[in-house]
Structure 1
Amino acid sequence: MSALLWTSKSTTRIAEELTRQGHPVSQPTVYRRLQGLGYSLQSNLKTKEGTAPRERDSQFRYINEQVRTFQARGDPVLSVDAKKHERVGEFKNAGRTWRPKGEPTEVNVYDYPDLGEGPAIPYGVYDVQRNRGFVNVGMDHETAEFAVESLRRWWRLVGRRHYGEAKAWLICADGGGSNGSRRRGWKWHLQRLASEVGKPVTVCHYPPGTSKWNKIEHRLFSQISLTWRGQPLVSYEAVVNLIGSTRTSTGLKVKAMLDRSQYDVGEKVSDEQMGRINLREHEVHPEWNYTILP
């Protein structure tokens, strides 16, 4: 018996191939035979999550414990992530808005990048206790340095006014992307930030495949998407203003600013630099939980 258990060939192509090999057969016959053998056309099914359920459960329990500890002390608990990159210009944005009948907003027919101003890269910092959001809108690349710079700007614009007496920070982040658990640049730049503010920074990463449980996704990013649905993001000013106008009935308020800096996508962090990071791994899932000291 052949080891081939699947094929993407059409029944017409299969019939042609069989006929070429000396087995004349029609396309309908091939179709009926495949059905009779229990075959059907199927797409991929997402079932593999990558991490054992027991590991995910224990990590979520640990994150919850850390959040409760930091909140009890009055220290900031920050949920962070980068939102989907947006195209700035007269491009169609999903959703609908109320307008006079027959007068829709006109946008470009084509989505060619050169018709716009460039990318908008929103990196969000959500303050869990205060239900407040901060978004740093980048114009260049999403890098680890950009992610940490967003935290730095949150601290300077908002954080130190409310948490100046805090003993430490807790950051809850995805395990991948610019703030990934294996990103050397993320840890290197966090070290620099921790030394600047003079406070330990504890990071707890969500297990692989669980990013949608990150509070920033449904507390902040989903609300921003509702704010600008159907609104073409015609300029960077429009992006910042729309994000900053986001409000909810539960009290969410958001501040946003534009980051015009350029970030090096090829940055390398050497072993020597890694050795200088004052990092303390936690006993529970040290690959996901650690504290960087000033």
Structure 2
Amino acid sequence: MSFDTKKKEVLGNLYRPGTLYTTEPVTTLDHDFWSLGHGKVIPHGIYDTQKNRGYVTLGNSKDTSEFACEALKHWWNYYGKALYPDANSILAKCDGGGSNNANHYIFKQDLQKLVNEIGIEIRIAHYPPYTSKYNPIEHRLFPHLTRACQGVIFTSLALVKTLMEKTRTNTGLSVVVNVVDQVYETGRKVTDNFKKTLKIVFDEYLPKWNYRAVPQLTH
């Protein structure tokens, strides 16, 4: 699978690029300042390269590692384990920055918590800087989501969900969308205990970019 967070959008009567066929003129504000909107939408995408299917989680808080891991957990619990009942590991390809920053231990801490909950190993493969264009989600899901939403004014989170769910391609791509109405805290620090008892297994080759989070037995 491949995952990443798409560009954040402002909700409100604000201009968005694209062509839209309507029966009457659409009038909007010509600037998209955050202060002019009434909220925001943060689309976190997961692309299943085997099934050619996209899973989008729409958040309205912050793009944090906790949010990214929550999206992964939802995908596995509701779709992944049913599609791959015999799987003993998940290969997740992602960028090296943002909510899944390769340099931040908070992502590794949240990732370890995630695998402890779902009980399956997750292998992370980060793309080094300036190579994120090779991440499959960037050209096999996100452009089609953009096309499905082009020109439409994002007046509500429900409208964004409806538009993205209509995403289709001739090659069989389909998209499932989930909305998470939860506030995520920013500026969280990794616990000292986690660094002392780090269970992340780093690869011998390029350990900064490649590592495994293995479920731990809890009592």
Shorter-normalised TM-score: what interval?
over 0.9
Choose between structure 1 and 2 for higher RCO, CA contacts under 8 A separated by at least 6 residues.
Answer: 2
2: CA distance, partners of 1:166 / 1:111: 44
Partner of 1:9: none
**Structure 1 unpaired stretches of 5+:** 1-77
Partner of 2:18: 95
Structure 1 vs Structure 2 CA RMSD: 1.3
State yes or no: 1:160 paired with 2:50: no
Structure having the higher strand fraction is 2
Partner of 1:84: 7
1: CA distance, partners of 2:182 / 2:85: 27
Normalized against structure 1, the TM-score is what?
A: 0.70
Structure having the higher helix fraction is 1
* Residues matched between the structures, number: 215
From the superposition, tell whether residues 187 and 97 of structure 1 become closer, same or farther in structure 2 (CA, over 3 Å): same
2: CA distance, partners of 1:243 / 1:99: 19
2: CA distance, partners of 1:125 / 1:274: 28
Amino acid at match of 2:8: H
- Identity score, percent: 39
Tell me the alpha carbon deviations over residues 125-150 of structure 1, each in whole angstroms, 9 at most, x when there is no partner: 11010001111111011111111111
Amino acid at match of 1:177: G
2: CA distance, partners of 1:162 / 1:131: 12
Q: Alignment partner for residue 267 of structure 1, among 168, 179, 188?
A: 188
Amino acid at match of 2:168: R
Amino acid at match of 1:99: T
Q: Alignment partner for residue 42 of structure 2, among 110, 117, 121?
A: 121
Q: Alignment partner for residue 144 of structure 1, among 54, 58, 65?
A: 65
Amino acid at match of 1:98: Y
Q: Alignment partner for residue 250 of structure 1, among 171, 174, 191?
A: 171
**Structure 2 unpaired stretches of 5+:** none
Task: Measure how far apart 1:104 and its partner are.
Answer: 2.7
Partner of 2:156: 235
2: CA distance, partners of 1:121 / 1:277: 30
Amino acid at match of 1:106: T
From the superposition, tell whether residues 195 and 87 of structure 1 become closer, same or farther in structure 2 (CA, over 3 Å): same
